Amino acid sequence: MLDDMRVLRDAVRDYRLAATAAGLDWPDQPESPAGQPPEQVRRIFGVEHIAEQLTWLQAQRWPDHQLLPNVGWRMPWPEGGEALDYLGLSIGTPFPWRQQLPLFFFDALLYTFVLAGDHEGEIWRYEISPDAWDSVRAATSLATLFDQWTRGIAAGVVVYDEHSKWLLVDDLGSAPGLDPLAFPVTPVEETLLRARQRECGVNMAIVEDGFPYNEELSDAIDAAKASLGGA
Instruction: Look at residue 210 and tell me whether its pLDDT is greater than 70.
Output: no
CATH of domain 5-228: 3.40.1580
Q: Report the pLDDT averaged over residues 82-100.
A: 94
Peptide bond into 27 cis (omega under 30): no
Distance of CA 169 to the CA centre of its chain: 16
Q: Report the pLDDT averaged over residues 70-75.
A: 96
Instruction: Look at residue 133 and tell me whether its pLDDT is greater than 90.
Output: no
pLDDT confidence of residue 12: 98
pLDDT confidence of residue 230: 58
| Cα first-last separation, the chain | 28
Question: Which pLDDT tens digit goes with each residue over 7-17?
Answer: 999 999 999 99
pLDDT confidence of residue 35: 87
* Residues near 137 by beta carbon (within 8 Å), at least 6 away in sequence: 122, 123, 124, 125, 181, 196, 200
Give the pLDDT band of residue 208 (cuts 50, 70, 90): confident
Question: Which pLDDT tens digit goes with each residue over 17-51?
Answer: 999 999 999 999 999 999 899 999 999 999 999 99
Q: Where are the alpha helices (DSSP H) in the chain?
A: 5-22, 40-45, 52-59, 142-155, 190-199, 204-208, 210-228
Give the pLDDT band of residue 187 (cuts 50, 70, 90): confident
Domain spans in the chain, listed from the N-terminal domain onward: 5-228
* Amino acid occupying residue 143: A
What is the C-alpha to C-alpha distance for residues 17 and 153, in angstroms, rounded to an integer? 10
Q: Is the pTM of this model over 0.85?
A: yes
Are the CB atoms for 26 and 149 separated by under 8 Å? no
pLDDT confidence of residue 231: 56
CB atoms within 10 A of CB 44: 23
